Structure 1
Amino acid sequence: MDSLSDSKTSPSNDDSSCFTEAQEAFGVLLLSFKNKPDDSKPYDRSGTFRFLDLPRELRDRIYYYSLYRPQPYHYRRALAPFVKTYYPDHIVVNPIQPASGWNKNDGSHVTLFMTSPQIYQEAFEAFCSFNTFNISAKRELDGILRLFPQKPAGSIQRIRLTFRNFIWRRTWRNNTSEGSFAQMISESRLAKEYFPSLRECVCAWYTSEQEFEQNGGVSVSAISYEEKVDIITDWMKFWCNQYHMVPPKWLKVEYQSYQCEYVKSLEEVFANALERCKKEVHDNSPLDLEESGQKWLEEYWEEHTRGKRQTRCAQSQDLRACASQLHLNP
């Protein structure tokens, strides 16, 4: 009997000893997994949150990731049949249409604009500020910008215009490279009048090597980078003085590859030369009348001559009085 009882109790003793050794080795780990945890209620979330409680900087960043597109948007005065067929989900304003590469199945921007009036206003300003708008002007640019919607025009900061050496506008008198450059300066300043928040006016220039070098009189082949910048800077300064124009600070020129990639490679050179031309031509321009003192001299000279005239008038009146007295009392 004793042997049987010992044989029955020995396995339980071994199990308890094993459990004790494991408990000493792993600490309270075994105790934590001994009992099954209670089932908690599933987390009920509708997916909404207080978006307007976020800081405005964070909201603008969210608007940027939701509404920004690297390709420019095209502005049209009317919806073309092609646009109605392939781009049915236009953005905010009917004439403003997305460029190629837009995902037609993505409707997140529409949902964002329809959330609330405040979010619509903030998203609309962000949409106009972050994106670039391509304005095609087959006729006079002034007439097209005059009909541009006033609400987005106050918030747009980046536009894109297209230029070619040969154009069919009747106001363009010089179909050469220097004429195109002068027209870029003129129309970029005109755009600033209709877009008060404009920070960047990109002029996409479709030109060729023959037009730029032969008709423009500029040859930049087989020379160093600095010499190219100097030559193009002198070319810009010469024609700015000829046309009496100063390139604005928001003007930017991008070369478009046409017939050859050589002209496209001049884009960086032209950009550096344009920045240098902006500084040098602006410094050499005549000062304002208030700064130069010319207006003060004119006012001083006018007062000085006015005093002389008053003195002469007084002297002439005295002489006439004396003459009348002499005539009456001979």
Structure 2
Amino acid sequence: MMAPEHVQKGISGSEHRETTNEHPVSAKISTGDELKNIFLDLFLEEEHGSHSGPPTKLEAIRPFKIFYLPREIRDQIYYHYLHRPKGVPFRRSAMKKWAVKKDGVVLTLFLTSKQVHNEALEVFCRFNVIEFAWQNKLGNVLGGLLKMVPLKTRNMLQLVRKPYDKFESFLPSWNGPWIRPKPEEIWIQMIRDAYTMRSHFPKLREFTAVWINRRFVDEETDIHMNSARGDEQLVNMWGCWMRKWLEVHNLVPPKWLRIEFQTNYTDSIEEMQQRQCAFQAAHRRLID
């Protein structure tokens, strides 16, 4: 027996609905923008309840057009994020744990683009003082450490610093005690290192040798603060001491060498500062 016509239509309609694989929502979506608006509406309803206003559309955040700014302004931006007033230490043991990796903003500057990387690196090398650690007790050559600096960076560095101490340059002796340098040997080594620095860093403007100076300088140089009658006589005493050892080693101090006294380990800070002023004054007279 044949079923009624309206029953047959119902059966055929239900079969059609069961056999179809098309999702009822996907049939209404034609573009990615419509899908984005649907999810945005759902999100807003969860946060603020249903609303009857027009749907809010998401707008992409466009990158800041930094190259529209003059180079001088860009350099000031780089300087703000990259300058380190206390300097940047360079040590072989710390190369893989450099502080720049811990700063997301600095890392972003170097990874934004090749042009930003080059400009930021130039500002970094122009204004930051790179400090090289002490040589170890085996007396490793300074040039070997400087060669570990990438060539591109070596060609940009302009300010470097290195500490010197009486007890940091011990050399092993097989037949006797450890040999420690005298004050004049440390000073001569500063001059030689200044030329070594310049040979590796062609744009070097200033090499600061930090002399961790203690009272042994008075004892081993015969330049005693109490024996000097006034600052000028103390300057002359340092000048005579310098010229004596420059003639012995046939050296000329370069103009890019600057010497500072580290006064943290002395009993009298004021006395050490007075000695430093006299030493620097005598040194300027030699290079001017």
Q: CA deviation at 1:264?
A: 3.7
- Out of 81, 91, 99, the position equivalent to 1:76 is 91
- Out of 221, 232, 247, the position equivalent to 1:226 is 232
Specify the alignment match of 1:197 in structure 2: 203
- The 1-side partners of 2:124 and 2:233 are apart by 41
Q: CA deviation at 1:265?
A: 3.6
- The 2-side partners of 1:248 and 1:234 are apart by 18
- The 1-side partners of 2:207 and 2:237 are apart by 24
Q: CA deviation at 1:158?
A: 0.8
Is 1:207 aligned to 2:213, yes or no? Answer: yes
Deviations 1:216-269 (A, max 9, x none): 121233532222222212221221111111000110111112232232442222
- The 1-side partners of 2:60 and 2:247 are apart by 67
Is 1:271 aligned to 2:280, yes or no? Answer: yes
Specify the alignment match of 1:114 in structure 2: 111
What's the C-alpha RMSD, in Å, of the aligned pairs?
A: 2.7
Identity of aligned residues (%): 32
Gaps of 5+ in 2: 1-58, 173-178
Is 1:165 aligned to 2:135, yes or no? Answer: no
- The 2-side partners of 1:58 and 1:67 are apart by 14
AA paired with 1:217?
A: D
- The 2-side partners of 1:226 and 1:127 are apart by 39
Report the TM-score, using the length of structure 1 for normalisation. 0.60
Specify the alignment match of 1:307 in structure 2: none
Deviations 1:285-326 (A, max 9, x none): xxxxxxxxxxxxxxxxxxxxxxxxxxxxxxxxxxxxxxxxxx
Change (3 A) 1:51 1:174: same
Q: CA deviation at 1:207?
A: 2.1
Matched-pair contact (CA < 8 Å) for 2:170–2:180: no
Change (3 A) 1:47 1:205: farther
Specify the alignment match of 2:4 in structure 1: none
Gaps of 5+ in 1: 1-43, 93-103, 280-330
Q: Which structure's CA Rg is the greater one? A: 1
SS at 1:91 equivalent: helix
Q: CA deviation at 1:60?
A: 1.6
AA paired with 1:75?
A: F
AA paired with 2:266?
A: Q
Q: CA deviation at 1:54?
A: 1.9
SS at 1:203 equivalent: strand
Change (3 A) 1:267 1:107: farther
AA paired with 1:63?
A: Y
Q: Which has the higher contact order (CA 8 A, sep 6+)?
A: 2
Matched-pair contact (CA < 8 Å) for 1:174–1:180: no
- The 2-side partners of 1:206 and 1:77 are apart by 22
Change (3 A) 1:218 1:116: same
- Out of 87, 91, 100, the position equivalent to 1:91 is 100
Change (3 A) 1:235 1:58: same
SS at 2:100 equivalent: coil
Is 1:217 aligned to 2:232, yes or no? Answer: no
- The 2-side partners of 1:162 and 1:259 are apart by 16
- The 2-side partners of 1:52 and 1:169 are apart by 53
Matched-pair contact (CA < 8 Å) for 1:140–1:169: no
Matched-pair contact (CA < 8 Å) for 2:171–2:180: no
